[in-house]
């Protein structure tokens, strides 16, 4: 039970929050905002590693999500995973040295997440992992390695769903450093639903609600090799004969489409490539889609929160709760299965009416994250 008198005596927490790549921004923004609402309890500074740097992949999200300008920008940019991770670590160490925060918060599962966690572990600074405990069981995915390493060194594991708690317990993590706080990305989603109504992205693209599908695809396993990307693109073109598909294309995928000479085929079809969108425009776009096809982690969750059918073009998911809730189907990279599943959706009733939302995906995860930090046990991992 919380003691109000004790609460007043809690020392103020000096926090650093790390962002690096696109899926980090919508997780960090609500935490940052909540901490700034509580200046007596928290001070927070934002560190941007620069893993993503294009305006469309980074700046647009700061503006849309009200994230304050980073206090530190490490400017690391793209490189091989090893070099990128090493560069982030080298650039982050002096920031931690100068700031000596009480807590560093890392979010998600990108290279920046793992690199900064390792720095903290080496320096004896406490690190909290937001979105801890997710596991796909597929170590060929760079994100799975990032999740495992980050969770192994973090002092506080803030989980988005009960399956994540179960994974961590199975791995032997002590229960007192695990806190089920819910999904902070859904805080951003709910916060921005109203604002998204004034976006004109659908009008600009001439789309009627429910009359189109949305695609995102950037996983190396889907896009880096011609023999994987080409059959997927061909299947999507076939699906697009029945329902136009809007495809905001990630720079990695765009480069591969060009390299493999797939542009002509795509341009002649109803698979419509557009530039990556900012947070609010993209929310407006997918929230009106008949269905979504994706290999992203976040979009599997966002479609679940809104009750939109989602086809995940991966062999596995670290977010099984989205499948359990009934909106997400993991179809793998088999083009026939993808087509069959898309046609099934088109032939079914327009939307699932009995939308089910996982527990604690309620827009209040950032509040619980702040409370978890205030009541965290002393570091167990050398902090």
Does 281 contact ligand UD1 by CB under 6 A?
no
Neighbours of 41 (CB within 10 A): 18
User: Of the two residues 23 and 101, which places its CB atom closer to ligand UD1 in the complex?
Assistant: 23
Compute the distance between CA of residue 59 and CA of residue 19 in angstroms, rounded to an integer.
12
244, 156 Cβ separation under 8 angstroms: no
- For the chain, the maximum distance between any two Cα atoms, rounded to a whole number of angstroms, is 68
**Of 80, 29, 92, which is closest to residue 279 (Cα–Cα)?**
29
Residue 57 touches ligand UD1, criterion: CB under 6 A:
yes
By the rule CB under 6 A, 171 interacts with ligand UD1: no
Segment near ligand UD1 (CB under 6 A), from 51-59, 147-155, 335-343, 348-356? 51-59
The least CB distance from residue 109 to ligand UD1, in Å, is 6
Among all residues, which ones are annotated catalytic?
218
Asked whether position 142 contacts ligand UD1 by CB under 6 A, the answer is: yes
Residue of 13, 15, 16, 21 that binds ligand UD1 (CB under 6 A): 21
Please identify, using beta-carbon distances, which residue of 205 and 255 lies nearer to ligand UD1: 255
Q: Classify residue 312 by burial, with Cβ atoms within 10 Å: 0-12, 13-18, 19+.
A: buried
User: Among 16-24, 234-242, 266-274, 344-352, which window interacts with ligand UD1 (CB under 6 A)?
Assistant: 16-24
Helix (H) or strand (E) holding 280: helix 279-287
Report the nearest approach of ligand UD1 to the CB of residue 146 (Å): 6
Query: Which run of H or E residues covers position 44?
Result: strand 42-48
Residues of this chain, 219-278, that bind ligand UD1 according to CB under 6 A: 250-252
Residue owning tokens 């136009």: 244
Q: Does 111 bind ligand UD1 (CB under 6 A)?
A: yes
Kindly report each contact of residues 347-354 with a partner whose C-beta sits within 8 Å and lies 24 or more positions away, as own/partner.
350/210, 350/290, 351/210, 351/307, 351/308, 351/309, 352/307, 352/309, 352/326, 352/327, 354/326
CB-nearer residue toward ligand UD1: 117 or 269: 117
Sign of torsion over alpha carbons 7, 8, 9, 14: positive
- With CB under 6 A as the contact rule, the residue among 27, 52, 126, 368 that binds ligand UD1 is 52
Q: Is 59 in the site for ligand UD1 (CB under 6 A)?
A: no
Could you say whether residue 148 binds ligand UD1 (CB under 6 A)? Answer: no
Name the site residues for ligand UD1 (rule: CB under 6 A).
Answer: 21-23, 51-54, 57, 78, 110-111, 142-143, 218, 250-252, 296
């Amino acid at each position: 039970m919380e003691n109000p008198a004790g609460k007043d005596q809690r020392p103020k927490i000096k926090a650093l929050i790390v962002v690096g790549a696109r899926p980090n921004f919508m997780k960090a923004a609500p935490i940052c905002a909540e901490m700034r609402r509580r200046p007596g309890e928290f001070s927070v500074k934002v560190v941007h590693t620069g893993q993503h740097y294009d305006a469309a992949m980074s700046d647009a999200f700061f503006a849309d999500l009200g994230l304050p300008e980073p206090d530190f920008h490490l400017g690391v940019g793209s490189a091989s995973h090893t070099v990128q991770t090493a560069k982030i670590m080298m650039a982050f160490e002096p920031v931690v040295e100068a700031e000596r925060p009480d807590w560093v918060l890392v979010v998600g599962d990108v290279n920046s997440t793992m690199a900064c966690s390792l720095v903290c572990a080496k320096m004896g600074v406490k690190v909290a992992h937001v979105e801890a405990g997710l596991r796909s069981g597929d170590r060929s995915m760079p994100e799975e390695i990032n999740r495992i390493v980050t969770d192994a060194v973090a002092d506080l594991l803030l989980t988005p769903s009960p399956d994540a708690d179960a994974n961590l317990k199975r791995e032997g993590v002590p229960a007192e450093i695990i806190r089920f706080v819910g999904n902070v990305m859904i805080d951003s989603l709910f916060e921005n639903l109203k604002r998204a109504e004034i976006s004109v992205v659908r009008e600009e693209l001439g789309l009627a609600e429910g009359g189109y599908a949305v695609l995102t695809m950037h996983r190396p396993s889907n896009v880096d090799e011609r023999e994987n990307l080409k059959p997927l693109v061909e299947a999507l073109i076939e699906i697009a004969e029945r329902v136009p598909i809007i495809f905001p294309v990630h720079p990695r995928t765009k480069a591969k489409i060009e390299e493999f000479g797939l542009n002509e085929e795509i341009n002649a079809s109803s698979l419509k490539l557009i530039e990556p969108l900012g947070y609010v425009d993209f929310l407006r776009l997918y929230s009106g889609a008949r269905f979504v096809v994706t290999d992203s982690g976040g979009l599997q969750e966002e479609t679940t929160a809104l009750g939109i059918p989602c086809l995940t073009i991966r062999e596995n998911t670290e977010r099984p709760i989205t499948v359990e809730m009934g909106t997400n189907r993991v179809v793998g990279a088999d083009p026939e299965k993808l087509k069959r599943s898309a046609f099934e959706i088109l032939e079914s009733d327009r939307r699932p009416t009995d939308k089910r939302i996982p527990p604690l995906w309620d827009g209040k995860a950032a509040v619980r994250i702040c409370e978890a930090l205030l009541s965290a046990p002393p570091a167990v991992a050398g902090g």
